[in-house]
Amino acid sequence: MGQILETLFGSKNRVRLLRFFLLNPEQPYPLSEIARKNIVKISEARRELNNFLKIKFILKRLKNRKVFYVLNADFPFYPELRNLFVSLGKIKNAGDVKLAVISGVFLNYPKSRADMVLVVNNLNRRRLKNLMSNLEAEIGKEINFVLMNSEEFKYRLNMTDRFLMEFLRGPHDELINKIPGLKNLINDLKKS
């Protein structure tokens, strides 16, 4: 089981493709379309798809001499994984979400000091509490998350807050990013 989870959550591209198949479970896709829709290089998509094929997360189908990939609905962890990604998608219901970034337990990166960073204005505390409870139930572990509003996030960015810089420099996946210029800042951080 450990090897399966490592294979599933090992990289940002893997998480993207995992989410793609879980949210499009019955539709077969060719490699080129999978790469295009997920903004992943074809070579990287091919490598991740081969990993998924090894653990039987996806299946290969031939149609008119063309190869298509489709989610294996009989994959042992399919219901749990689907629930996890559907729950992650509900983050936008917690308020005016400006940023939702995952790392840590979600990307199999134990060095991260947080599993999630959320920047939310007009927070609906009840919805956020329900969402976190559902996510924790899905992964079987408490989620360590950091919550702030746009003003606090901007302040912490401007003072180059050590925690925030380390989090954004490390492996992470953006679920929502409505903060202008943040992608450029993250790219600059990764170069330094």
1 pLDDT above the threshold of 50: no
**85 or 29, greater pLDDT:** 29
pLDDT of residue 80: 81
What tokens were used for 154? Answer: 């901007």
The pLDDT tens digits of the residues spanning 124-171 come to 999 999 999 988 887 778 999 999 999 999 999 999 999 999 999 988
The β-bridge partners of 118 are 100, 147
Identify residue 175 by its one-letter amino acid code.
L
pLDDT of residue 2: 43
In angstroms, the CA 171 to CA 164 distance is: 13
Per the CB < 8 A criterion, the answer to whether 174 and 168 are in contact is no
Q: What is the pTM of this model?
A: 0.70
**Is residue 84 very low, low, confident or very high in pLDDT (cuts 50, 70, 90)?**
confident
Mean pLDDT of the chain: 88
* Burial class of residue 162, CB neighbours in 10 A (0-12, 13-18, 19+): exposed
Q: Which of 43-47, 179-183, 185-189 has the highest mean pLDDT?
A: 43-47
- What is the C-alpha R_g of the chain? 18
160 C-beta neighbours (distance < 10 Å), count: 9
Q: What is the SS3 assignment for 165?
A: helix
Per the CB < 8 A criterion, the answer to whether 152 and 132 are in contact is no
pLDDT of residue 88: 81
